[in-house]
Amino acid sequence: MFKIDELARSVEGNEPRFVEFLRNPKLSCAVYRLPVGAKDLQAPHLEDEIYFVISGRAKLKIAGKDRDVTAGDILYVRATTEHTFFEIEEDLTLIAIFGAA
C-alpha cells in the first residue's frame, strides 16, 4: 500500500525529482515533482502513461496540443507521443503510471 502524502514528501525540494516506487514486468509507478519555473526534460516513452495530478497547476503539451492541468486531473499519454509540462505556476506533483503499450 502507498500513501499519497508520503509519496509527495519523498520528492519535496526545489529541484525536479522523479522517484519510482513500484515496478514489475508490465507496470511501473513513480512520483514526479516539477517546482515552479522548472523545465520538464522528459522524452517520449515506449510505454503508455497515465498521470494523476496530486497538486499544482501547469500546462501539458501532448502531440502539439496545450492543456491546462490542475490537482485532481488524470491525464493519458499514448506511447511514443511527444509531451511536456510547461508554464508551471504552482509546484506540480504527479503520480506517473507506465504500462505496456
> What residues does each domain of the chain span?
4-99
Q: Which three cell numbers stand for residue 42?
A: 522528459
**Do the Cβ atoms of 44 and 80 come closer than 8 Å?**
yes
Per-residue confidence band for 32, with pLDDT thresholds at 50, 70 and 90: very high
Cell numbers placing 60: 501539458
With respect to CATH, is domain 4-99 assigned 2.60.120.10?
Answer: yes
Dihedrals phi, psi of 2, to nearest 5 degrees: -125, 145
Q: Tell whether the model's pLDDT for residue 87 goes beyond 90.
A: yes
Instruction: Kindly state the percentage of the chain with pLDDT values over 70.
Output: 99
pLDDT tens-place string over residues 60-73: 999 999 999 999 99
What would the mean pLDDT of 10-28 be, rounded to a whole number? 93
Mean pLDDT, the chain, whole residue set: 95
Q: What is the pTM of this model?
A: 0.91
